[in-house]
Every structure is written in structure tokens, then in C-alpha cells.
Structure 1
Amino acid sequence: MFLINYKLLKYKFLLILIIFPLLLNAQVFRNYSNEFLNIGVDAAALGMSKAVVATTNNVNASYWNPAGLVGIEDYQGSLMHASYFAGIANYNHAAFAMPIDYESALGISVIRFGVDDILNTTQLIDSEGNIDFNRISLFSAADYAFNIAYARNLIFKDVKFGVNAKIVRRIIGEFATSWGFGFDAGLQFERNSWQFGIMARDITTTFNSWAINEEEFDKIKNAIPGQNQELPETTEVTKPKIQVGVAKEWRVGRYLNLLSEVDLNIRFEQSNDIFSSKIGSIDPAVGFQLDYDKLVYLRLGVGNFQYITEFDDGKSLSVQPNFGVGFNYKGIQVDYALTNIGSVGNALFSNIFSITFDYSFFRN
């Protein structure tokens, strides 16, 4: 019986380790909140290490830079799926965009990042030490983002502007839920065949307001004596970030084209980025895309340059390479990326798949 109880207690403590870090994310002015929104969408962009802020021009521009939505000519849709941690966590994205007129466009999208079927063992052992497996239940910890984007050409030549409003919904089973709201804004312009882009995320800061289920919290807060006695704070703020990019496309053969872009991801805080100070930090990303007559694509990217502290307090530089391929035929583009997005070091690589539909081809 002791061995059985020992194993069950291990599962109970595992549940606590899962829930409390999620609850404790709801702190005031945390440096990292709503991190699932930084993962990215579209295997084509991820294959280029997210270096697309200056060149994105399809339905997925709703995420990367809403100004790029002006580039669409008809209805477009996009779907993406990615799995993490051997399939424990799943990331899904769906988007739709359409032109309003020759000068403006509209896009909507939804993102879900979640861990499902988590065992809730808080009621497995009662106060008298009795075990009842019927008390085990399942719950999900999921983050959602609902986005609506608008873009239009400005009066200046080759200048596009876009704005994205997002609603964030986060759910941790019956333990806690939150609502959040924020804005992104972006610009794109072209000069002498060079393309430039700037994307400001969470420009007004994004606020999340948490509601903690005190009844459920009471079931686990005393599991570890002397720890987790107080409810966490219920307001979470995501700080602004800026991405700037410059890109150029070269024709390298009769049917071959090479697109290259360099982006700088800027955060107003000191971090482990390769360029960092008390004022802010900069993480560069470089992406390349070689295409054959806009039918077959090969992509390479390098990004997420981070300094890692070793056990001897030394520093080493971690770099994240990415690879991708794509195929476009009659309005249907299928893309694949091999990447370990969202992590550094020796993390397992992730397989990313996405598909984009352009209705203009079907009209013909």
C-alpha cells in the first residue's frame, strides 16, 4: 500500500508542478506573458526563421505584419499545425483574408496552443488516505488568440499600413481563466527594389485579467506545507516589442529567384539576446528563399541568437537554424518547416505543416 500511495503522490505533485507555474504567470508587469503569441504561424515564414516582416503579403500577414494584407487580390485562407514535446502540446492556426477594394484588405485569424487530457488527481486521495480512481478527471490548459486585421495603401507611394486587434483567452481547466486585449501595427514600403517593414507588437501593452477559481485553488494550495498559500496576482501585462526588416529579391537564372531578408527583433528590456543592454535587446534573424518559377521553394533561416549560461558560469552562444520547402500549384501552396521554434539549446526539432489557398486561381 505504501508503494501505491507513493506513486499516486508523485502524480499529484506532478499535477501541482503543471498548474502552479501557469497560475503564477498571472503576475503584474511580467517580462514574458502571452508567449504563445511569439511562436509564429505559417511553415513558409518559420522556415526563414521568421524573417518576413518586410515581405509578407498573403493571408498570414495578419500575424507577421498586417500591412502586407494589401498584397492579396482575392479570398485567401490558411491552416497550420505543429506539435511540441512529443505531441503533448499542439499549436494550430487558421486564417482568412479578403480585399475590400483596390486600396484596402481585411483579415481574421485564430490561434490555439494547448495541452489536453491532463490528469487532475487533486481528489484522488481523500483526507483519510482513501484512494478512489473514479475521482480522477481530465482537463486542458489552452491559450487562444482571436485576431482581426485591417490594411490599406497610404497616400504616399508604395507605403502600406495595417493594424491588428487581438483578443486573448487563456484557460487552465477549472482552476483559472483570463481575458486579454491588445493592438499591433505595421508598415511596409518599397524603394529601388528594396523592401522595408516595421511591426510594433502590443503597442498599447496587452492586458490579461485573470479569474482564479478559489474553490479549486484551495484543493491544491496546501499540498506542499508552507508553500503556495496565497492566490497569485490577477493582472498580466505584455510589453511592446518592435520588429524591423529589410529584404531584396534577385533573379539568379531564367526561372530561379532568390529572396533574402534580415530582421531585427527588439525588446525594451535586458535579456540573453546577442545584443543586450539595460535599454533594450536585439535578436537578429536572417532568412533565404530560393524558388523555381514560383512553383517550388527551398528556404533556410538562422535566428534566436541567445547567450546560454553554462554550469561553470561561462557563456556560450546558441543559434537556431531552420529549414523549409514548399510547393505551389493552381492556388494551393503546401509548406513544410523543420525547426525547434520557441526553444534554444538542444531541444528536439519540430515538424511544421501549413497550407494556403488562393481563390483567385479557382475563378479562372
Structure 2
Amino acid sequence: MKKIIYGWIVCCLLANTATAQRRIYVNEYLNIGVGAQGLAMGGALSAHSGDIYSAYWNPAGLRKIEANAELGLMHAEYFAGIFKYDYAAAAFPFSNRRRMLAVSLMRFATDNIPYTLDYVQPDGSLDDTKLKGFSAGDYAFLFSYAQSLRKPGSTGNWETGIGVNGKILFRNVGSMANAWGAGLDIGLQTVYKNRLKIGLMMKDITTSYTSWSFNLTEKEKEIFFKTGNEVPIQSYEIMMPRFNIGAGYHFIKPGKAFQVYGELGFDLTTDGQRNTLVKSRNVSGDPKLGVELSYKNTIFLRGGITNIYQAFDNADTSHVKKYTTYQPSVGVGFKVKAISIDYAFTSLQMQDNPLMSHIVSLKVAFISNKKRSETDNTDTNAVPPAEPVTPPVSN
């Protein structure tokens, strides 16, 4: 029954897409987040991220990967399993290890939605052989590049990295509609003495476009006419730039077994007024807070808060009284040699009936035995070491 209702929602969205161009919440599946670490910390990770999931949070963090290759996998379900959310990525370094390449795939979809248009026969009978299913899915393919801006052999308290994402978007609603789009992200990270971290992630910096095309049957067009909707032909959506800013600090000196890290982030959108804590006509801001406690870089405890805003109290029939709501999250992580498993527990912050989601992600680092012995108990988010400089040979 839930998927039948979702099918009607899809049809309504198709009708809306026929005329929609620049509007808020375009391609919002790209802003859910990936990896249990970041989701457990409320999305406050643009400064701290330093593994395969950096392709999403801040591609500059990919430069911190020291393995020969790194693989990341994530699975999550939303709204009682109606929506499936999956992520897979792999990263590979250049020979000098100051530059990294990564490829990622995101999928957010609902499968087996009942297609009931031919289910009811003209005589009122039901023909089960005519009951089909279709999928409505959103995909993103990310191609990432990152490098450290520190010159080989240089020393200093500051280290800065840059990263770039080129992304291809694909959205599909059965055989009825599909869309293609593209975008560009740029990320920056800087670290001071391996303790103070600052990050900036600029999404869709050049403005991204998604072009829709439709392939409706005559029966499907008839439904649009009967329900008073315009039959969609072709349209496009504009995704405005979005900025994720973060600043974090390691409260205990690096090298100690027990570590405490905290990060304050700010998600700035430019597509119009949203229901956020800070908002104006064209720009809206959503603060985020994340904390991570770790022991010997093997056991992690995380927590975060995001999506803070003012909402009307449903019990107040005058619709005047407001209260502050937020989305909390917690999580744990375990690292055994080259394998890391992370878990996050988040809420969709619905006032009357909150829906909880479980997120599990896996990270595998492919490293040589020699490299493994050097990195077993080191911080994976530490700044990559500068390359040694070969002294000139005198004559």
C-alpha cells in the first residue's frame, strides 16, 4: 500500500517537473550524506574527512589516504525500508602519493512500485497478470581528484589540500521519464599542527543542470488530463551552488591513545528560503555539530546534531506557538587492521512519529605488510607527510 501511494506521488512530481526550473530542494538526494561516520556526526565532517568517503564530504580529504587503494561501501534504508540508499567508491593514489583519484556511485531508489494502470479491467475485474512493478531511482557518478599543496620537502605548521569532483547525474522513473545532469564540486582543507582543521566544500559551484525527457503512453497521458495536470514533454532543473563550511579541533595532543575531536559546520544554500535556523529570501543556513571520541584509533564513539529549525506545534490549533526541533544522531566504529566498520543511528525528526534509520558502512584499505605495520595505530585523518628531498650530488 505504501508503494502504491508512492507511485501516485511520483506521478504528481512528474507533473510538477514539467514546468519547474529553478526551485529549492532540487536533487536533494545528493545532500543526504554517505558513510556512517559523517552521518553519526550530523554531517559536520568537511574539515575532518580523510578517507574514501571524502569524495562526498570534501574531496580534498582524499589526499590523506595512505593505502595503495581504498574501498568504501554503505547501505541504508529510509521510511520503513521503502527507500534504499547505497554508495560504493574506490580510491587510488598516483605513484608519488601526493595525488589521489577516486570514483563513486550513489543510488537512492524505491523498487517494485506497483504499476496498476492495466490492473483493473473494463468489466471491473482484476487481472494479476497485468500488475507490474517499476523503480524510481536517482543516481550520481562522481569522479574525484585530490592533492596536497605542500611542496615536497617543505616543513611548516600549515598544510593545505584541494579536491575536485566531476559528477554525472541520472534520474529514472520506470519507462515514463529519465533525466541527465552534470555538476562540479571543489573542496579545500587546511590543517594547523595536526590539531586545528578548516574545511570548505563548494557544491555545484558552476550551477548544475538536469534535463528531463518523458516517454508516456496514451493511457498515461489520459491520466494526466483526467487529474487536471499538464502532460510533461521536456524540462530542466537548475541546482544552485551550496557551501559546506567546517572548523574542528583535536582537544588532545596527537599521539595519545585517547582522542577527542569536535567540529562545527554550517551548510549554506543559495536556492531560496528554506526552513532552517538562519534564513533569508535567497540564502539559508543550517548549523551542524559533530563529536568523535576514539581510543587507539580502533574504537570510535560519535554523536551529532543537524537540521535545527523552528516548527509549529501541532497541538496548537492557532498555529502560533513554535518550538525548536533538530535531528540527532549517534554512532560507533571499529577498526581492525585494514578493515573499518561504522554504524550510525539517525532520526528523521518528525514530531509526532519520528522515523529512525540505521546506516552501516564498510571501509577496506589495501596496503602492503610493511605499510600496515607503520599505520596500524596512526590517525587516518592525519596530514600526509611531505616527500623527502634528495640532496644534490656535489662534483
TM-score by length of 1: 0.90
Contact 1:16 1:220 in 2 (8 A): no
**TM-aligned CA distance change 1:130 to 1:13, over 3 Å:** farther
Aligned ranges 1:269-308 → 2 under 5 Å: 269-308=272-311
CA distance in 1, matches of 2:168, 2:107: 12
Residue matched to 1:125: 120
Deviations 1:84-139 (A, max 9, x none): 11111110000101211332111110011110111100112345645422111111
User: Post-superposition shift, 1:361?
Assistant: 5.9
Q: Where does 1:154-303 land on structure 2 (aligned, <5 Å)?
A: 154=149, 158-192=159-193, 193-215=195-217, 218-219=219-220, 221-222=222-223, 225-231=226-232, 234-251=235-252, 254-268=256-270, 269-303=272-306
1:1-364 equivalence runs, <5 A: 15-22=7-14, 24-25=16-17, 27-74=20-67, 75-100=69-94, 101-127=96-122, 129=124, 131-154=126-149, 158-192=159-193, 193-215=195-217, 218-219=219-220, 221-222=222-223, 225-231=226-232, 234-251=235-252, 254-268=256-270, 269-311=272-314, 312-314=318-320, 315-340=322-347, 344-345=350-351, 346-360=353-367, 364=372
Secondary structure at the aligned position of 2:275 is classed as coil
What code does the residue aligned with 2:211 have? Answer: S
Q: Contact between 1:265 and 1:284, CA under 8 Å: does it hold in 2?
A: yes
The total of aligned residue pairs comes to 354
The alpha-carbon deviation at position 143 of structure 1 amounts to 0.8
* Counterpart Cα distance in 1 of 2:257 and 2:162: 32
Deviation, structure 1 residue 310: 3.7
**Alignment partners' CA distance in 2, 1:309 and 1:233:** 37
Q: Say if 1:322 and 1:214 are closer, same or farther in 2 by CA, change over 3 A.
A: same
Select between 187-196 and 33-42 the one with higher mean Cα deviation: 187-196
TM-align CA RMSD = 2.4
Shift of 1:12: 7.4
**Is 1:94–1:111's contact at 8 Å kept on the other side of the alignment?**
yes
**Identity %, equivalent residues:** 34
Matched residues in 2 for 1:47 and 1:53: separation?
A: 14
Counterpart Cα distance in 2 of 1:37 and 1:11: 22
**3-state SS in 2 of match to 1:271:** coil
Structure 1 distance, partners of 2:257, 2:268, is 36
Distance in 2 separating the partners of 1:257 and 1:11: 45
CA–CA distance in structure 1, aligned partners of residues 3 and 196 of structure 2: 56
Question: Given residue 313 of structure 1, which amino acid in structure 2 is its aligned partner?
Answer: H
Q: Provide the C-alpha distance between the structure 1 equivalents of 2:136 and 2:306, rounded to a whole number of angstroms.
A: 29
Deviation at 1:16?
Answer: 2.9
What SS class does the counterpart of residue 209 from structure 1 fall into?
Answer: strand
Deviation at 1:359, TM superposition (A): 1.1
* CA drift at 1:191: 2.7
Q: 1:221 and 1:64, CA in 2 relative to 1: closer, same or farther beyond 3 A?
A: farther
- Quick check: 1:241–1:266 contact (8 Å CA) kept in 2? yes
Q: What is the one-letter code of the residue matched to 1:147?
A: L
Gaps of 5+ in 1: 1-6
SS in 2 for 1:44: helix
Cα distance, 1:226–1:88 mapped onto 2, change above 3 Å: closer
Q: CA deviation at 1:58?
A: 0.6
Which segment drifts farther, 244-253 or 265-274?
A: 244-253
Q: Deviations over 1:218-271 (max 9, x none)?
A: 425436735124326510111111010001112289521001000000112222
Would the aligned equivalents of 1:11 and 1:121 in 2 still touch at CA under 8 Å?
A: no
Cα distance change of structure 1 residues 77 and 226 upon mapping to structure 2, 3 Å threshold: closer
Q: Residues 319-341 of structure 1, C-alpha deviation per residue, up to 9 Å, x if partnerless?
A: 11100000001110000000025
Report the Cα distance in structure 1 between the residues aligned to 2:40 and 2:190, rounded to whole angstroms: 23
Contact 1:43 1:354 in 2 (8 A): yes
4+ residue stretches of structure 1 with deviation over 4 A?
10-14, 126-130, 361-364
Measured in 1, the distance between the counterparts of 2:172 and 2:261 equals 40
Please give the alpha-carbon distance, in whole angstroms, between the structure 2 residues aligned to 1:307 and 1:224.
39
